[in-house]
Amino acid sequence: MTLVEARGVGRTVELPDGRPLTILSGVDLTVAEGDRVSIVGRSGSGKSTLLNLLGLLDAPTEGALAFLGHDVRRIGSGARDRLRGREVGFVFQQFNLLPGRTALENVQTPLLYSGGMEFWRRERIARDMLERVGLGERLTTKPERLSGGEQQRVAIARALVRKPRLILADEPTGALDLETGAEVMALIEAVAAETGAALVTITHDPAIAARSSRHFLLRGGRLEAADAAAEASADEGAVGIDPAEAAA
């Protein structure tokens, strides 16, 4: 099932002096359930801007973006927020956990905005999720007393506790050492596989990008399909386009 379909999507913002700045343009991308997509690109190429569009945090200023068949530019911000809360899980480089709140409280937070059984059973659900990510013994520990890898596990549990169909990971291993980063990626992938969720990962790390099955490069606000080898050398500017991917 198609989750997100972008056709000719762009985003232009107005600078303080009134001039327009086009950050993204002509982006075509389809993400279906179970997909593993990586996006690499230099700093400032528009990666976070694209992730914010895919994750319904912003709306495009040009082109068509459909999320589960809903035209993102036509639905209201309330409906967009509900869709995002229900269907999108974000994992960021800097974990973004609530300080002073236990791991269990952090993971319960998204469930406070859900209804019915999810709301009433939120403590049990959050507890199960923390056990799933290997932190069953740290339920009442606060983030400041957890290691970076453990904090990211809490963040993963929080992002995935509502079983979103789309997981957006923005440099998820950027603050972790290589080994911990690989473990964290494997965990995200495993939990995504259990629910059939799609995973879109933004990364500077070719090894992390290579774990995906579809590879893209953002350059100057334009998205190009790229094979894994091209990604590895993207920083040197030696980019090859895989025609099969480009046509997909």
Ligand X SMILES: Nc1ncnc2c1ncn2[C@@H]1O[C@H](COP(=O)(O)OP(=O)(O)OP(=O)(O)O)[C@@H](O)[C@H]1O
Task: Give the x-and-dash track for 47-86 against ligand X (CB under 6 A).
Answer: xxx-------------------------------------
Distances (CA, A) of 77 to 52, 56, 84, 95, 182: 14, 9, 10, 25, 36
Q: Which of 1, 8, 13, 248 binds ligand X (CB under 6 A)?
A: 13
- Residue 183, exposed/middle/buried by CB under 10 A (0-12, 13-18, 19+)? middle
Which stretch, 15-23, 118-126, 160-168, 236-244, contacts ligand X (CB under 6 A)? 15-23
The CA distance from 12 to 216, in Å, is 21
- Please, what is the Cα angle at 167 between 161 and 173, to 5 degrees? 100
Going along 87-160, which residue ranges are E strands? Answer: 88-92
Residue 48 beta carbon to ligand X: minimum distance, rounded to whole angstroms = 3
Task: Give the x-and-dash track for 108-137 against ligand X (CB under 6 A).
Answer: ------------------------------
Q: Are 6 and 27 in contact (CB under 8 A)?
A: yes
- Closer to ligand X by Cβ: residue 10 or 46: 46
Which stretch, 40-48, 69-77, 107-115, 177-185, contacts ligand X (CB under 6 A)? 40-48
Of 154, 161, 151, whose CA–CA distance to 112 is shortest? 161
- Closer to ligand X by Cβ: residue 105 or 170: 170
Per CB under 6 A, does 46 bind ligand X? yes
Of 83, 85, 91, whose CA–CA distance to 159 is shortest? 91
Take residue 100 and report the two structure tokens written for it.
């002073």
Residue 102 beta carbon to ligand X: minimum distance, rounded to whole angstroms = 30
Q: Which of 31, 35, 39, 45 binds ligand X (CB under 6 A)?
A: 45
- Closer to ligand X by Cβ: residue 23 or 129: 23
- Closer to ligand X by Cβ: residue 196 or 220: 220
Question: Where does this chain bind ligand X (CB under 6 A)?
Answer: 13, 15, 21, 23, 41, 43-49
